[in-house]
Amino acid sequence: MANTARNAALGLLLGATVAISAAADDGSKLWLQSAIPQNVSLQSDKPVSETLHIALSELTRLKHKWGVMQDKHRNDLGKEGFEIRVMDGTVKVIAETDLGLMYGAYYLLRQQACGTVFTENFRAKEIPYYKYRMLNHWDNLDGTIERGYAGNSIWKWDELPGTVSPRYAEYARANASIGINATVLNNVNASPKMLETANLEKVKAIADVLRPYGIRVFLSVNFASPMVIGKLKDADPLKPEVAAWWKDKAKEIYNLIPDFGGFLVKANSEGQPGPCDYGRTHADGANVLADALKPYGGVVIWRAFVYGQKPQERVQQALLEFQPLEGKFRDNVIVQAKNGPLDFQPCEPFHPMFGKIRNIPLAIELQITQEYLGQSNHLAYLATLWKEVLDSDTYQNGPGSTVAKKIHESGMIAGVANIGDDVNWTRHPFAQANWYAFGRLAWNPDLKADAIAKEWLSQTFTSNPAFVDPVCDMMMSSVPAIRQYMMPLGLAHIFASTLGNHYGPGPWLYQTGNESFLKYASLLSTNENVPGRKVFDATETELGADRTKKGTGTVMQYNSPLCDQYNDLKTCPERYWLWFHRLGWKQKMPTGDTFWEHLCGQFESGAKTAATYPGIWESVKMYVDPERYDLVLGRLKLQAREAVWWKDACILFYQSVNHLDLPKGITPPIYDLAKLKRISFPSNVHFCPKPEDVNKALDGALKK
Ligand code: BDP
């Protein structure tokens, strides 16, 4: 039993301090607010692993007497858990492993920043709820990031493996501090080149930096790799030469990276190759990879994001595709479904697979990058959205069958990263909170969204309640407000382009005549060859998607009693009214007003909330350094303006089809519909317009 202890010189320093900061802060230190401790000399009676060295060096930042104890004979903490005890004036971290000690160290530093007092007999014990707490980078080998809004990739493939950027260790440390222990380095739309030997050597260099921080590396692979880089005739998973190719590749990878995690695969989805190209199933495809990884303990993460192959409504397709494959996957395959059945929209019901699939381990994929939530221009605190889905009851095994528990079976929770090579990692300073919150929820999905926000604010800015309380309220209100102005009542996918930039409103695009848009947004239930197909576009009389039992029947993909709840407007949650129902503009709502009045009220309310944000931020100016203050203020002003853009664009467009008057109490539009329709930003998958360009475009769209 190694017992390493050091006395920190400063003793107790606790309680909230009012930090009225003046120095500019570039945001690069994230919630850690410190650089990696350097040249810390340690006294120990045993050789110290790199991981333990990290733990002990970090603990030198603790302003309290501390000690660590490794107890390999305990059997209750596992590989990553820890216990904290305060005895005789010393805070002790106890763990079975060095990794546990490291997580315990970060726990203590977090508590310190949040003002916790380590009184005698203070006790804590933590064990992570999920085994794999994973980031998915959608980073390309050319340095771009699909849906990345904070610069280019942090992985500098051109200079690796010779030059290893110091940012890799900073990245690893930030992740370790919130418990993230796995990362997929490259885009799910994967280049086959990723698996070339020269690139694997670069991956090894990154893996070597991340390992001491407890982070395992995974790669996205292109299913056609055996053809493209292996020069085989095809990639048919049932052909022995294809299986042999994958086995050789796995051997090569594990030679370089003995703890390599496995493969993430997007197959037969949005044009990616896959087993269905050869008449094989997703199970056949996943299993050939699983067999190759099995001897080394690797896993295959097979994505359920498939649509467009069959003439079915898009939101139903994943379940229809995977349900017949239950029990057919190898035991080292995990199928990864997005939180909702469409595509990371601001407001979707949980993915029906979580309630219906029994014999396939399921992982959940959340999107930390804000593809559909204002990208790096809007403050959208996503923990509220993620909590909603994790806490959702699927009723698979009766009441209490939450999504959070369901994915505990696979032990995997993944988040699409929002990290780029900007100095502050995420461009919008508040987007750091989403990276942080993802890690914290992956460690413990029972944490409350507001508690996580307060932790993050206390560490990143100051723990003074005069700052934390109003800013936490603003964060908590952000996703509800965005839903009201971008996706009121579950009105899905009215964004300005489909596979392009997804920035700004474009409800006029999703109308008959624009079939590809309709299909993409699942506003067309079947393909054009199927008689009786349904189109959900806005008409003179109605709006929304009839997914009830009488419509496309999507409600049937949910277990009882949800199926009936969603089916009946009176019991359907307001936020899903238009997701499951097609409503007449003049129809009376359960709330007593007409649907048109109610819809307009949503836009109005969302815009009003966003309008309060700049003032809230101005009121806490004294607590924030000028650099981050200005960056945030400019963006909050833009967000308030964009909320009006959404409101006006949608209300004016719907008025142009329903010819109804603006309901009482709704602020008259300031923009001109024809001019708004002409706003366009470069249509590519890694583009977020600069605030000044959006402001300019909106200036030009004002009514004369
Ligand atoms: C959509 C994105 C697209 C991704 C796709 C996916 O628009 O860029 O490739 O999801 O998850 O949200 O595969």
Q: What is the 3-state secondary structure (H, E, C) of 244-313?
A: HHHHHHHHHHHHHCCCCCEEEECCCCCCCCCHHHHCCCHHHHHHHHHHHHHHHCCEEEEECCCCCCCCCC
Of the residues 136, 305, 498, 687, which should be mutated to test ligand 1's pocket, given the most ligand atoms within 8 Å of the CB? 305
pLDDT at 416: 98
> How far does residue 306's CA lie from ligand 1's centre (Å)?
11
pLDDT at 535: 77
Point out the ligand 1 atom lying closest to the alpha carbon of residue 367. 12
How far apart (Å, rounded) are the C-alpha atoms in residues 317 and 304? 9
pLDDT at 527: 53
How far apart (Å, rounded) are the C-alpha atoms in residues 141 and 200? 12
Mean pLDDT across the chain: 93
pLDDT at 312: 77
CA distances in angstroms from 531 to 59, 356, 524, 526, 580, listed in the order given: 67, 28, 12, 9, 21
pLDDT at 536: 82
pLDDT at 17: 37
How far apart (Å, rounded) are the C-alpha atoms in residues 685 and 371? 9
Point out the ligand 1 atom lying closest to the alpha carbon of residue 266. 13
Point out the ligand 1 atom lying closest to the alpha carbon of residue 338. 11
Nearest CA to ligand 1 atom 9: 189
**Interior CA angle at 8 toward 173 and 97, to 5°?**
45
Looking at the DSSP bridge assignments, the partners of residue 402 are 393
Q: What is the pLDDT of residues 46-85, one digit of tens each?
A: 789 999 999 999 999 999 999 999 999 999 999 999 999 9
Point out the ligand 1 atom lying closest to the alpha carbon of residue 269. 13
CA distances in angstroms from 664 to 410, 422, 594, 647, 703, listed in the order given: 51, 45, 12, 15, 21
> Which phi and psi (to 5°) does residue 650 adopt?
-70, -50
> How far does residue 188's CA lie from ligand 1's centre (Å)?
8
SS3 341: coil
161 cis-preceded (ω within 30 degrees of 0):
yes
pLDDT at 13: 29
> How far does residue 585's CA lie from ligand 1's centre (Å)?
33
CB neighbour list of residue 380: distance below 8 Å, 6 or more residues apart: 346, 370, 373, 374, 434, 478, 479, 482
Q: How far is CA 402 from the centre of its chain?
A: 19
In this prediction, the residues of the chain whose per-residue pLDDT falls under 50 are 1-22
> How far does residue 311's CA lie from ligand 1's centre (Å)?
20
pLDDT at 89: 95
Point out the ligand 1 atom lying closest to the alpha carbon of residue 146. 8
Catalytic annotation present for 270: yes
CB neighbour list of residue 370: distance below 8 Å, 6 or more residues apart: 149, 376, 378, 380, 382, 418, 431, 434
Token output for 553: 């029947």
Token output for 300: 């295959």
> How far does residue 190's CA lie from ligand 1's centre (Å)?
12
Block residue for tokens 């003439």: 311
> How far does residue 315's CA lie from ligand 1's centre (Å)?
14
Token output for 438: 């993802």
pLDDT at 266: 98
Among the listed residues 365, 371, 597, 604, the single catalytic one is: 371
**Residues 24/625, Cβ–Cβ less than 8 Å:** yes
Of the residues 139, 343, 497, which should be mutated to test ligand 1's pocket, given the most ligand atoms within 8 Å of the CB? 343
Among the listed residues 201, 241, 270, 515, the single catalytic one is: 270
Which of 199, 252, 194 has the alpha carbon at shortest distance from 228?
194
Block residue for tokens 């475009």: 697
CA 148, 150, 152, 155 dihedral sign is negative
| Helix ranges, 413-448 (H) | 432-443
Point out the ligand 1 atom lying closest to the alpha carbon of residue 502. 7
CA distances in angstroms from 107 to 59, 130, 410, 447, listed in the order given: 10, 17, 25, 14
pLDDT at 532: 60
| Helix ranges, 294-431 (H) | 314-322, 353-356, 383-390, 403-408
Token output for 561: 């009693």
How far apart (Å, rounded) are the C-alpha atoms in residues 356 and 353? 5
Which of 24, 14, 45, 31 has the alpha carbon at shortest distance from 425?
31
SS3 338: strand
Report the chain's C-alpha Rg in angstroms: 26
Residue type, 310: K
> How far does residue 107's CA lie from ligand 1's centre (Å)?
34
Token output for 455: 């932790």
pLDDT at 4: 42
Nearest CA to ligand 1 atom 11: 305
| Helix ranges, 449-588 (H) | 449-460, 465-486, 515-520, 562-567, 577-580
Nearest CA to ligand 1 atom 7: 499
Looking at the DSSP bridge assignments, the partners of residue 95 are 70
How far apart (Å, rounded) are the C-alpha atoms in residues 70 and 105? 13
Among the listed residues 139, 284, 313, 343, the single catalytic one is: 343
Catalytic annotation present for 248: no
Pocket of ligand 1 (CB under 6 A): 146-147, 188-189, 266, 270, 305, 343-344, 371, 685
* Number of Cβ within a 10 Å radius of residue 115: 14
Element (DSSP H or E) covering residue 125: strand 123-126
